[in-house]
Amino acid sequence: MIVLSLSPARQKFWQIAHTPDSEITINHLLEGALAIAWEEYPKMDLGHYREILEQMVDDLQPRLAKTRYPLKIVQEINQYLFIEKAFCGNDTDYYNPRNSFINDVLDRRLGIPISLSIIYMAIGDRLGFPIEGISFPGHFLIRPQHPDLEIFIDPYNKGEILFPEDCENKLAQLYGQRVPLQPEYLEPVSIRRILDRLLNNLKLIYLRRHEPNKALATIERSLMLNPNVPTQWRDRGLICYQLERFTESRIDLENYLQHIPYAEDSQVIMQLIKEMQN
């Protein structure tokens, strides 16, 4: 890949994706999310949205200077974001792609769990109150990195504070039945994985909306983050097939089968490859 041939937004994302895991920070998470939005809005002023975030931090700092109690810090951030600024989850139009773009979330104060969490994490980081993402299935959560505070926060539901037993109840709500709460459901997730999850959300939205070129763009950036994911090769190959980009499609689908020869969809994929060979 010739990086200079990429758009400025894609170049920026490439640089973040190639940051070593040992060096990647919450600021990389924010900048990666901004780069994803920038590709959708090429004329976007990134500095403007950084300034919005910095103003939020400036607003909160005097309030937090009065307390050292971590739970009180969470309550102050929640009061500011979800009561005064009225950020909330977009229940009425959940699958609108704008819910995933940080500029739109800051402008409209509407988002989905992961985009609202990224804003919360970025604010916490700048306040010296580190927060990590949690790989909860089907619903992104966050957790303060504080030894005296064993809680989880749900930014989609106005900063709802959750204890582990509450997380089990939330899992039951998501799946419509009781599901055992596995320890890995409450494990922290890497910044690279958060960006990948944001892109995968967009990919599913674009596939649902029958926008293959935009879905393809999300996969290309996901593969910058994690190049060796056979299911992403498969999905890219299927979209390229749909777009009649048969050479690219065949390469990806053949690579997929080479790495997962006994995949459940192997027969379907083999049939597509045969069609392209004829």
Same domain, 57 and 140: yes
Choose the final residue of a domain: 144, 170, 189. 189
pTM of the model: 0.94
User: Chain-wide mean pLDDT for the chain?
Assistant: 94
Establish if 15 belongs to a structural domain.
no
List of residues 6+ apart from 248 with CB closer than 8 A = 236, 237, 240
Give CA–CA dist 226/224, Å, rounded. 6
What is the C-alpha to C-alpha distance for residues 171 and 45, in angstroms, rounded to an integer?
38
Of 133, 165, 189, at which residue does a domain stop?
Answer: 189
Model pLDDT for residues 128-172, shown as the tens digit of each residue = 999 999 988 889 999 999 887 889 999 999 999 999 889 888 888
Q: Which two tokens stand for residue 250?
A: 């065949």
In a domain, 83, yes or no: yes
Q: Any idea what the Cα angle at residue 144 is, between residues 141 and 148, rounded to 5°?
A: 135
- Domain end call among 131, 156, 189: 189
pLDDT in tens, 236-256: 999 999 999 999 999 999 999
Question: Are residues 260 and 145 part of one domain?
Answer: no
**42 lies in some domain:** yes
Report in angstroms the alpha-carbon separations of 210 from 81, 82, 235, 239, 248.
34, 33, 14, 11, 20
What is the domain count for the chain? 2
Predicted local distance difference test score (pLDDT) of residue 248? 96
At which residue do the structure tokens 């597509």 appear?
272
Mean pLDDT of 17-26: 96
Which tens digits make up the pLDDT trace of 37-61?
999 999 999 999 999 999 999 999 9
Cβ partners under 8 Å of residue 31, min gap 6 = 12, 16
* Phi-psi map region of 158: left, alpha, beta (phi>0 left; psi -120 to 50 alpha): left
Which domain range does residue 254 map to? 192-277
Residues 216, 227 within the same domain: yes
Instruction: Say yes or no: 24 and 147 in one domain.
Output: yes
Q: Is residue 181 part of a domain?
A: yes
How crowded is residue 166: how many other Cβ atoms within 10 Å of its Cβ? 14
In the beta sheet, which residues pair with residue 131? 144
Are residues 179 and 128 both part of a single domain? yes
Give the Cα separation of 115 and 130 in Å (integer). 17
pLDDT band at 2 (very low <50, low <70, confident <90, very high): low
Question: At a CB cut-off of 8 Å and minimum separation 6, what does 177 contact?
Answer: none
Question: Beta strand pairing status for 110-111 and 88-89?
Answer: parallel
Write the pLDDT tens digit of every residue in 60-101. 999 998 888 999 999 999 999 999 999 999 999 999 999 999
Residue 62 and residue 156 in one domain: yes
What is the bridge-based pairing of β-strands 160-162 and 152-154? Answer: antiparallel
CATH at 271:
1.25.40.10
Residues 145 and 200 in one domain: no
Q: Are residues 122 and 254 in the same domain?
A: no
Residues 179, 210 within the same domain? no
Could you say which DSSP state residue 173 is in? H
172 assigned to some structural domain? yes
